[in-house]
Each structure stands twice: as structure tokens, then as C-alpha cells.
Amino acid sequence: MAQHYDVIVVGAGIAGLYTALNIHEHLRVLVLSKSTLAHCNSALAQGGIAAVLHESDTPQLHARDTLAAGNHRNNPDNVRLLTERGAAEIAELMRLGVAFDRMSDGELALGLEGGHSVRRIAHCKDSTGDAIMAALTARVRERANVTLCENAHLFRISRKHEQFIFNVVFSYYTTNKFVLPDDSCSNYETASRGHNAYYTTDTNKMQDFIANACVIATGGIGQVYERTTNSPIATGDGIRFAYELGARLSRLSWIQFHPTAFAAKEGTFLISEAVRGEGARLLNADSESFLHRYGASELSTRDVVSRCILDEISRQNSTSSNKKSDKIFLDISHKDSRFVKERFPQIYEKLLSNGYDMTVEAFPITPCQHYHMGGIAVNENGETSVAGLYAVGECSYTGVHGNNRLASNSLLEAVVFGRLTAASVSEYARSQSQSETEPPVAETAQSADCLCSIEGLAEEVRGIMQRLFFIRAEHEQIPDGLARIAQIKAQLEAADCLTAEHSDALSVATVAYLILQELHEENKG
Ligand code: SIN
């Protein structure tokens, strides 16, 4: 049997949780998290959250830096909202329990990153996202009107009689309230830990939900690439759902590549731009600084630095006999080692476990896909072109970032626009709950093992994207890549299996297809 809510928030990163917290308390809200909360992109955010927090700064200056980083392709009205409202949202986060780092005099310790003309980044060492997530999760779990459900893999949203139907496949999941009717939980174990009940269900257990309004907050699209700083769950599901619902999408090819990630055996991990902000220098294989060669500086923005790295690698390859000539390094070993360890404890430990002591030596870095500036087109209140459908955070396109996001503006966007979205969706859901709408009959999806062969399809898409559009677009090869991805997308759509793997592969193929299609159209035009 389908379960009804006023609002369903899809995604439980900072944007989803903050929106849920700000939705009117009389509305019943369900937050669906695809995996455990620890797996979302927000939990990986290191650098911090930018805002005007010092008397030497102003919203106008923050706006100027945001517009310059975004190459003036930003929406200036939304940039004004972002920069004027930032400080109030930081105060609210502190009230909710986030303990940002402070200096010995008790003032907030503010960090610096590329493109910022002053220090304005509030942080919790190098685990800011994790600290904000912990506070928001605790507050959400206290809220009687909000149910938070982890390991709930949504694979389709459809719309009927002005309501949204959500088909979810559960595996092991945790929730702060009972969601599944008892008979759907064979093998269930419950244990009381605070407000949580823990269940183990049969694999591929299906459950449908119905809501008057839907907020998509699914985060990034990193899994469309081989090399990404994103979480393994960042497959761009929200963009696929919005596309399938007919919502307008915008600027899907505006993708940010972070210049400094570390390619570890177990996968790539981010080296926060705050490391550059604290004085780290980029070096080539001959241990020379090189950014000046391309008219850039150590604190240039991510788009500029990523392009410089590609250019320096090809220059080294063509001129140097050095065996490491395809390598670029980051070096902060000239700074006080105690400071480095205290400011970047997570990065220090991760590098150490990969054989590098950042306090005494340079370490190799590589650019990686990091952030999606484009997405589901929304106005300042998170409203999409489909009535009752909202989007917030990285999956949305508010236009605040232009075509290159200023460092640490993403968490800020999530909270500033999370509050505005919550107000708007509350009003919509309340008006809907008062109007007489015919209750939709959810077509309960049947669990099915995937009999068709989807193995390798998502990997093939990632390989194509990595080759054709990584920092620079290979326009001549895009038509062939687009044609192959269109075939893969069609194959996955035709298969209609209801498994998490299939759903992820379909999202990856759909998002990749839309990105390449946009690039292709632009190049033709
Ligand atoms: C970083 O710490 O470099 C990432 C934070 C961000 O994406 O702004």
C-alpha cells in the first residue's frame, strides 16, 4: 500500500535536510536518502561555507568575487540573495549546533580559497560538510513531522492527478519512524538507538509513496565521470527524474573540474582548495611553479587552474625528458607542520596512508570532476517548470554560480535557497492539502531481478565522458559519443528492470546524453 505525505524531499544532503527542517511543522515530510547519510556528497565537503562574516567584507565584495569566478554568466539577482543572506544562515547553522572553528580570541577562524579577495570561509577543520550534516541530522531526527529514511533507492517519480508517486526499492534501511508496513519487512531487526529503528528487509523490497509536492535535492553527477571527487551515489538521479517529468533543465554542460584531487588506490579523494588558500603551491615534475606561465596565480579559480594543469602536462610531455612529466604536485611543506596537521587532519591522515607526509614533501594531484553548476531550472524559490516540483542544491540551476562556482559557495547556496524553497513548498503543499484532489492509485512496482545485461554500460558511458569532455570538450568526437550514449540510454529504458543498479545506470546515461547533446547543439549553433 502506498503511503501519503504532504512533501517528499528526495536527497538527504545539506540542501535536503535544511529544506526539510524549514518546511512548515504542520506538514508531513518524508526525506528519502539513497544510501546512508554518510555517503552523500555534502558529507565529503571539506573546505567550508563562504559568507560575509568579517567587518572587512561586504555582500557586494562577495558578489563581485562570485560573479568574477562565474565568468559573469551568473544570475545577478540570485547572487545578491546569496551574498546578502549568507551571514544570517551561518548564524542559524550555529544555533542548530554547528561548531565552526574559532581563533584564540573567540572570533570565527575564516579560511581563504581561490577567487576570494578576503578570508570569508567558515570551516570545521577539513570536515565542514560532515560537521554540518551531523548537526542537521540531529535536528531533523527531533522533528515530529519529518521522517528520514536511509537506504531508500528511488528509481522513478511519476505524476498523476497533480500528485507525485515515488517508487522506492529498499534494501537494509534505517529510519527515525516506522515507514514500511510490518509485512513488507521480512528479516527485519529493530533496535532502538535514540530515535532510530533499524530494519533489514528482503533485497529489492518495493514501497510506493505519494505526495502533493516534491523537492529534488539529489546533489551532483560525479558518477558520469571516471575521475570525480563525488560520492559513489552521485549518479544525477534528480536530473533524470526532472527530465522524465518534463521539467526544464538548464546549462547541463556547465561542469566544474577541481584542480587538486589525489588519485589513491581506493579511489580519488579531494585535496581541499583551502590547502592552496593556506599557501600551498602547484609544482610541475621539475619542482617548478608554473601557473604564472599561463597568466594565472596560486589562488586563481578552479577553471583557470585546471586548464593550466592540462597545458603544463602537455608542455612537459613535449619538452621534458623527466619520467614524471605527466605529473603535477601540490606542496605545503614550507608551512609549520603543526599548523598543517591541525588545520587539515583528515587530508593529512589520508595522504599519510597513501605514502605521503604533506608536512615534509610535495604530493601528486590530478584534476577531477567536482561540481555541476547546471541542472534543474528553478526560480529563487526553488520552483521548477512543473507545478509542485521543486529543486534545491547542486541538482538545481539557480544561476548563482555562472559557469564556474566560487569555492565554498555550494553549501551556502544549499542553505540560502533551502530556506526559500521550504517557504514556497510549504505554501504550495498547504494549498493542495485543502483542495479536493482525486487520490491517485499508485501502480505498485513489482520487484524484479535484472535479467537483461546492463553490466558495463555505466562504465562505458563514464569512459566516453572522460575522453570527450574533461575540462575541455573534444567537439569533433562528440557526435559519435553522443550516438553511442543515446543507444545505451535507449537500451536501459527498454529494459525497465527495477533494480538499484539499473536505475543508477539509467541516470548516468541520461545525464551524460543531455550534457553531450547540449555541447553538440552549442557547437553547431
Ligand atoms: C574544497 O574544499 O576544495 C571543496 C569545497 C568546494 O567545493 O567549494
Residue in 43, 42, 47, 13 with CA at minimum distance from that of residue 121: 47
- Considering only CA atoms, which residue is closest to atom 5 of ligand 1? 47
Report the C-alpha gap between 46 and 276 in whole angstroms.
13
| Residue tagged active-site, from 276, 302, 343, 405 | 302
Testing ligand 1's pocket by substitution, the residue of 123, 408, 413 carrying the most ligand atoms inside 8 A of its CB is 408
What confidence score (pLDDT) does residue 185 get? 40
Ligand 1 contacts (CB < 6 A) are: 45-47, 270, 272-274, 371, 407-408, 410
Look up residue 195 and give its three cell numbers. 530515535
Q: Distances in Å between the alpha carbon of 110 and those of 1, 43, 65, 116, 121?
A: 51, 20, 16, 12, 5
Shortest-distance Cα residue to atom 8 of ligand 1: 408
DSSP 135-151: HHHHHHHH-TTEEEESS
Pocket test for ligand 1, best of 273, 305, 344 (most atoms within 8 A of CB): 273
3-state secondary structure 200-259: EEEEEEEEEEEEEEEEECCCCCHHHCCCECCCCCCCCHHHHHHHHCCCCEECCCCEEEEE
Cell of 102: 574559532
Q: CA nearest 135: which of 21, 270, 52, 49? A: 21
Task: Look at the block and give the residue holding cell 575541455.
Answer: 472
Q: Cell numbers for 56, please give them.
A: 572587512
Taking the CA of residue 405 as reference, the ligand 1 atom at the shortest distance is 8
Q: What is the pLDDT of residue 436?
A: 56
The β-bridge partners of 255 are 372
Query: Which amino acid type is present at position 433?
Result: S
What's the 302 CA to ligand 1 centre distance in angstroms?
10
Instruction: Round to whole Å and give the CA distance between 21 and 434.
Output: 22
pLDDT given at position 325? 73
Q: Which residues contact 13 (CB under 8 A, 6 or more apart)?
A: 40, 41, 42, 43, 133, 217, 219, 393, 414
The C-alpha cell of 209 is what? Answer: 509513496
Looking at residue 525, what is its pLDDT? 80
Q: If you count them, how many residues does the chain have? A: 525
- Confidence (pLDDT) at 501: 86
pLDDT, position 452: 60
Euclidean distance between CA atoms 101 and 109, whole angstroms: 6
Tell me what pLDDT residue 192 has. 35
Span from the CA of 214 to the centroid of ligand 1 (angstroms): 28
- The CA 217 to ligand 1 mean position distance, Å, reads 19
CA of 258 to the centre of ligand 1 (A): 8
For 237-268, write each residue's pLDDT tens digit. 999 999 999 999 999 999 999 999 998 777 78
Residue 371 Cα, ligand 1 centroid: separation in angstroms? 9
Q: Where are the beta strands (DSSP E) in 248-293?
A: 249-250, 255-264, 267-270, 281-283
Which of 66, 256, 258, when mutated, tests ligand 1's pocket best, judged by the most ligand atoms within 8 Å of its CB?
258
Residue 51 Cα to ligand 1 middle (Å)? 14
Please tell me the pTM assigned to this model: 0.93
Dihedral pair phi/psi, residue 289, rounded to 5°: -65, 145
**125 contacts 51 by C-beta, under 8 angstroms:** no
Q: What residue ranges of the chain have pLDDT lower than 50?
A: 173, 176-178, 180-200, 447-448
Closest C-alpha to ligand 1, atom 1: 272
Which pLDDT does position 450 carry in this prediction?
52
> What's residue 499's pLDDT?
78
Catalytic residue check, 315: no
